[in-house]
Amino acid sequence: MKALIIVGHGSHLNEDSSLPVYEHAALVRDRYAGEFDEVVECFWKEEPSMRHVLDMVEAEEVCVVPAFISEGYFTQQVIPRELGLDGPVTHRDGRTIRYAGPLGTFEGMPDVILERVDDLLKGKEMRPGRTALVLLGHGTDLNKNSGGVVYLNAERIRERGVYDLVEVGFLDQDPPIAEVVEGVEAENVVLIPVFIAEGWHTRETIPEDLRLTGEVTERADKTIFYGAPVGTHPSVADLIISRARETKEREAQLARDVS
């Protein structure tokens, strides 16, 4: 038997945080029926906990995919510790547990961001002139990977040449998002939070800081289009499956390296 475990952060305070994990799990069960016998959600701050999720899973082959954007504190420290993982592949109690990389660094992420942009702009009127895509990350000065993943996606989208400008702004590190949005030289600014879930930042702090009035905010010199977080997009379910499939290749790679 094979199981897929999707790990989310979760919240003690509201249901928004875990919702995308449940929704992606449901899509995986539906779209990829037969690939996994069990698809189970677990969380850092909700139940089932990472610590106990393996107790309730029957399969001997388990793949763990973190529904996190960047490689960092959670994916490198908390998740392996709580699940008792030794690395990309763990053999324990007759089980093989494969651990996938986070979603944000995956090569398919730019496609999901661009799908999110398409959803946002559908049926909306753009001003004549330039269009800038601004990726908004949380960022932290404590870990350069947190911001790095946003720059990585911006660069990958820039290479495709579909926008006049692709910029990056953050909540908790430089450059601050408000300065980036004000300063960007484009008539249309498309702002996409590179976050997993809706929450306090996407619903409250970001709209307040940027004085947004909703999905579309008209300013004298530009129109700002504000999208939902990329992590809630239904295509993230496909990203999770791609990450899960990739772990097999990682295992083969490790085996080659050892021999």
Partner 1 sequence: MRATSPERPGGESPRRSTAAEARAAFAHWVNEVPEGLPFGQIVVRALPGNGGYELRHVADVGIPDGDLVAHNEPRAAREIAKLTEEGEYRPLKSSPNLKRGWVLRVKDDRALYVAMNYLYPSGVAHWHLYRNGELEITNYRENAARQSGIYKRVQRLSDEGVQNTAKACCEDAVCLKKTLWDVDENTPLAADRGEGEIPCPEPCSIFVSLARRVRLFERENKRDLDAIGLSPSEKEDLSALVEAAATGSVKFAREAEFEEPLNERRMRYRKLTLVPKLRPVEDTAPEEG
What's the min distance (Å) between Cβ of 60 and partner 1?
Answer: 5
Per CB under 8 A, does 47 bind partner 1? yes
Q: Where do runs of H (alpha helix) occur along 32-143?
A: 50-53, 79-83, 109-121
Per CB under 8 A, does 185 bind partner 1? no
| Chain residues 72-101 in contact with partner 1, contact rule CB under 8 A | 73, 77-78, 81, 93-95
With contacts defined by CB under 8 A, name the span among 38-46, 196-204, 226-234, 240-248 that binds partner 1. Answer: 38-46
Alpha-carbon separation of residue 156 from 67, 77, 110, 115 (angstroms): 21, 27, 7, 14
d(CA 18, CA 42): 9
| Chain residues 51-70 in contact with partner 1, contact rule CB under 8 A | 51-53, 55-60
Q: 109 Cβ partners below 8 Å, 6+ apart?
A: 103, 153, 156, 230, 239
Please, which residue, 47 or 204, has the CB nearer to partner 1? 47
What's the min distance (Å) between Cβ of 9 and partner 1?
Answer: 11
**Of positions 23, 35, 46, 187, contacts partner 1 by CB under 8 A:** 46
What's the min distance (Å) between Cβ of 22 and partner 1?
Answer: 7
**∠ CA 181-187-188 to the nearest 5 degrees?**
70
Please, which residue, 15 or 118, has the CB nearer to partner 1? 15
What's the min distance (Å) between Cβ of 242 and partner 1?
Answer: 24
**∠ CA 53-59-64 to the nearest 5 degrees?**
55
d(CA 70, CA 101): 9
Q: Which helix (H) or strand (E) holds 90?
A: strand 89-92
Please, which residue, 18 or 232, has the CB nearer to partner 1? 18
In terms of phi and psi (left: phi > 0; alpha: psi -120 to 50; beta: otherwise), the region of 116 is alpha
Instruction: Say which amino acid occupies 56.
Output: M
What's the min distance (Å) between Cβ of 231 and partner 1?
Answer: 19
Per CB under 8 A, does 2 bind partner 1? no
User: Which residues are near partner 1 by CB under 8 A?
Assistant: 11-15, 22, 26, 40, 44-49, 51-53, 55-60, 73, 77-78, 81, 93-95
